[in-house]
């Protein structure tokens, strides 16, 4: 794996195992997702894209710029992983979107769906706010167990490795990498 000086500097001496999806592959897939989402809604649906922070911030920023419809953006802050690599199953909601969801087409944007615990906890809370529709768009999907809340849009099937970059972190490191790598 050869990294440019800029990429070396971003890593600051920390090791990644391999690049799993390059910046070019991610960009191409995000464009497709933007097109697919555009085809599913009309302007009168008042599309609201809700990003789950912090992991989705890069993906969401790129995705909304590929949606050819009027869109509003809000965020949700939940916390489940702490500093580890394994989900604790305890999903705390630290910030709820202030936007009214009622009667609107809502798309929840996730960086990665692993066990599905986060979605299982959050979707009912959003559903309770009476959106006209509620769908999930995730950049990555590990598909580890039953997908009772399977996302409508998936960027990539993820290998069962711990991934970082393009918003995904390990203990807050690596979010700014323009590609997706495994540790």
Q: Cβ closer to ligand IMP: 62 or 110?
A: 110
CA distance 173 to 169: 5
* Nearest approach, Cβ of residue 55 and Mg ion (Å): 4
Single out the residue of 51, 55, 97, 131 in contact with Mg ion (rule: CB under 5 A).
55
Which residues in 146-165 contact ligand IMP (CB under 6 A)?
A: 162-164
CA distance 115 to 108: 17
3-state secondary structure 127-168: HCCCCCEEEEEEEEECCCCCCCCCCCEEEEECCCCCEEECCE
Secondary structure (DSSP) of 42-68: -GGG--EEEEEETTTHHHHHHHHTT--
Q: Cβ closer to ligand IMP: 47 or 113?
A: 113
Site for ligand IMP contains 10 (CB under 6 A) = no
96 catalytic residue (yes or no): no
Q: Which stretch binds ligand IMP (CB under 6 A): 6-14, 20-28, 111-119, 146-154?
A: 111-119
CA distance 14 to 16: 7
Q: For the window 67-96, what string marks contact with ligand IMP as x by the rule CB under 6 A?
A: -------------xx-----x---------
Which residues bind to ligand IMP, rule: CB under 6 A?
55, 80-81, 87, 110-118, 162-164, 168
């Amino acid at each position: 794996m050869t990294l440019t000086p800029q990429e070396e500097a971003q890593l600051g001496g920390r090791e990644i195992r391999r690049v799993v999806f390059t910046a070019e592959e991610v960009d191409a897939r995000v464009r497709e997702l933007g097109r697919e989402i555009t085809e599913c809604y009309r302007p009168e649906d008042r599309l609201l894209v809700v990003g789950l922070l912090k992991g989705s911030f890069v993906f969401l920023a790129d995705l909304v710029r590929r949606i050819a419809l009027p869109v509003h953006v809000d965020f949700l802050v939940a916390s489940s992983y702490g500093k580890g690599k394994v989900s604790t199953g305890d999903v705390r909601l630290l910030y709820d979107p202030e936007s009214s969801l009622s009667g609107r087409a809502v798309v929840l944007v996730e960086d990665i769906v692993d066990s599905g615990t986060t979605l299982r906890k959050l979707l009912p809370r959003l559903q309770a706010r009476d959106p006209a529709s509620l769908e999930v768009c995730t950049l990555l999907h590990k598909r580890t167990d039953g997908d009772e809340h399977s996302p409508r849009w998936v960027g990539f099937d993820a290998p069962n490795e711990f991934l970082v970059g393009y918003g995904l972190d390990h203990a807050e490191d690596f979010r700014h990498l323009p590609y997706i790598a495994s540790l």
